[in-house]
Amino acid sequence: MRRFLCLFVACLCLLAVVPAVALAEGYDCKSCLVVGEGQQTPLLEQKGDVSLPAAGLCKLPAVLTLCRAFDNEVIEENTLMSVSRRAAGIFGPTAFLEAGEQIAAGELLKAAVMLSAGDALCTLGENAFGSESVFCQNISVTCRELGVEKEFSDCTGAGMTFTAGELALLGLEAARSPSFCRWAGVYMDEIVHPGGRRTELVNANRMLRSYGGCFGLMTGSSAQDGYCGVFAAKKNDTLAVAVVLGAPNSQKRFAIAGELLDHVFANYRQVTAARAGSPLAEGVEVRSGSVKQVDLVSHDTVAFLRPKGEETLEKTLEVTEPLTAPLRTDTPVGTVTFRAGEEVLCTIDLYPGEDVESRSYLALLRQCMEAYIRS
């Protein structure tokens, strides 16, 4: 039997439905938009669904794939990696790697994130995944997992096009990566080559020093594609990601990004509806278990960016009842759906907050005898 428990979150000052996307007009660029954490719809956009050349931002999927590998300890920072002729010869921003040299993976990651250095990201990919071809397959998988349908044949993404919306999805994921954020917000550093040779790294993202709360993510430019960037900023726990494609100059690129981010922080705030491990339903009855009740939790932290000043968020729990032991913390026993008005924001699984073992035969027999005596 399925039972629906409807709970209205009062006094949380949570926020109601985000209105339909506002169209940004008059921005001096080919395309731009801004999104917030937990939002599928841009909060402000100008031609955000038009596929365009994106200069160095085409490397974002590759760098994100590498950062995920570092986050999951697939790549260790102290691992020495050999530079191939292919990697050393890649055109564009460079860490000045020389074919045949060996350099620590952590140094390469620094250059890949801060500079979008093609030689560094190619070296990491070839060594970590065995070949550039396999690396490209993994980059394509990263994109598909995020809803970006791209097939890579060159790890730098040379010649590919992206919409601002696609880059925003990649940017939101990058903003969640500890390895990406560790270096994306660093303005100046250096890498050390074998023998002590050093290469200075200077991040081209001037907003790191001019816009409060900005911590990345990537910039790029070319004569054909114009000035582009994906920018992430966080203020008062509110995260926003802005994308600018095809601005006429660097100053205009940063100015547009700043205006887009300002729009978010002035009009929206981020609200956490569920925290990983915190109860969403307390004291749910358990039959035939070592305990009589168990709390139900989410394995995920769920946050939404909502308009300021609007209230009322509803959550609906659907739980298989009665819960019967044994229960395991890795096996879902229900779902919780978050709504704002009529809009369904998301549905996530619910799990027991602790393992619950079945009671022994003697304990069950004793319970039955007690119930019989009471009757």
Task: Answer yes or no: do 167 and 282 share one domain.
Answer: no
Determine how many CB atoms are found less than 10 A away from the CB of residue 20.
7
Question: In which residue are the tokens 């921003």 written?
Answer: 93
With a CB cutoff of 8 Å and minimum separation 6, the contacts of 32 are: 24, 45, 46, 47, 48, 164, 242, 243, 244, 245, 256, 257, 260
Question: In which residue are the tokens 């709360």 written?
Answer: 213
Q: How many domains, the chain? A: 2
Task: Answer yes or no: do 29 and 120 share one domain.
Answer: yes
With a CB cutoff of 8 Å and minimum separation 6, the contacts of 251 are: none
Domain that holds residue 316: 2-14+273-374
Task: Answer yes or no: do 233 and 299 share one domain.
Answer: no
Looking at residue 230, its pLDDT comes to 98
Task: Answer yes or no: do 125 and 45 share one domain.
Answer: yes
Task: Answer yes or no: do 339 and 361 share one domain.
Answer: yes
Spell out, as residue ranges, where the chain has pLDDT lower than 50.
1-20
* Domain finish residue from 227, 247, 268: 268
Torsion, Cα 86 96 248 148, to 10 degrees, reads 50
Task: Answer yes or no: do 195 and 227 share one domain.
Answer: yes
* Domain finish residue from 268, 292, 325: 268
Convert the pLDDT of each residue in 134-171 to its tens digit: 999 999 999 999 999 999 999 999 999 999 999 999 99
Task: Answer yes or no: do 255 and 181 share one domain.
Answer: yes
Determine how many CB atoms are found less than 10 A away from the CB of residue 1.
5
How much of the chain, in percent, has pLDDT values that exceed 90? 75
* Domain finish residue from 244, 268, 292: 268
Looking at residue 26, its pLDDT comes to 82
Task: Answer yes or no: do 343 and 324 share one domain.
Answer: yes
Convert the pLDDT of each residue in 108-131 to its tens digit: 999 999 999 999 999 999 999 999
Asked whether the beta carbons of 44 and 25 are under 8 A apart, the reply is no
- Helix, strand, coil shares of the chain, percent, nearest 5, are 30, 35, 35
Q: Residue 48's Cα: distance from chain center in Å?
A: 19
Looking at residue 88, its pLDDT comes to 97
Convert the pLDDT of each residue in 324-348 to its tens digit: 999 999 999 999 999 888 888 889 9
Task: Answer yes or no: do 51 and 26 share one domain.
Answer: yes
Task: Answer yes or no: do 180 and 288 share one domain.
Answer: no
Q: How far apart are CA 240 and CA 237, in angstroms?
A: 10
Q: Residue 111: give its domain's CATH number.
A: 3.40.710.10
